[in-house]
Structure 1
Amino acid sequence: MMGLTARQRETLDWITRYMATHTHAPSLREIAAGLGMATPKQAQAVLQRLEDRGHLTWRRGAARSIVLTGAASPPVPAGLPADLQARLAAYCASAGLAPADVVARAVSDHLQAAHIRTVCAAAGVTAVVSS
């Protein structure tokens, strides 16, 4: 995959965030408006370059047909709901983190908290105060 220009990165990040908060892909008009482009044609040109570089696919003439691929679509453990997967992708894009690292940390934190609750319950402790 080829590198991205600043405009392409901005567009890809905007699309990723949009898809994390909506149940569908954005339209060309929404992309143009969201990024301050003069016309949807400008958004179309950037989408074409992102597709050429392997970051997404889309069908010209088909509304809301953008699908993130490649680097824009990081691997996620099986069974993660699509809406959560999109939120994870947007978070990772904005924070510069790898999805696998975020998921591993979340699972580790969850298991540690569950262990603490189990130990406390066995000891008869009903509340834990953290500093």
Structure 2
Amino acid sequence: MSKVICIIDDDPIYQFLINKIIDNSKGNHEVMFFKNGKEALDYFTLDIAKNLPDIILLDLEMPVMDGWDFLKEIDKLHIDDTAIYIVSSSISDEDKRRAKKFPKIKGHFSKPINSNKIQEITKKIE
């Protein structure tokens, strides 16, 4: 059964690249994309039982609803089956400290993420 990976990032070039990396990684993965946290949250809450992905790769800096606001809102949904990873161009020490407030965050990666990291992440949910 395929695992669903959700990319929440406003950069279309990054979305294209990460999709290629996921396609080339070993595994059977379905990929969904959202350009900000609000789009993703709206989709997930349409049918929380069916629409939640297995993995979220979350950028922090986005328009409309950034990664931090998304994390605050998704925390209210009390979901446990979705692993969230921050993938950002810059993970500052302050961001790492702030991320510790969100137990759903399973890790931090700097862009660009590579196929080895994708395999590492997906093996954790198999």
TM category, shorter: under 0.3
Larger radius of gyration: 1
Higher strand share: 2
Higher helix share: 1
* Higher RCO structure, 1 or 2 (CA under 8 Å, sep 6+): 2
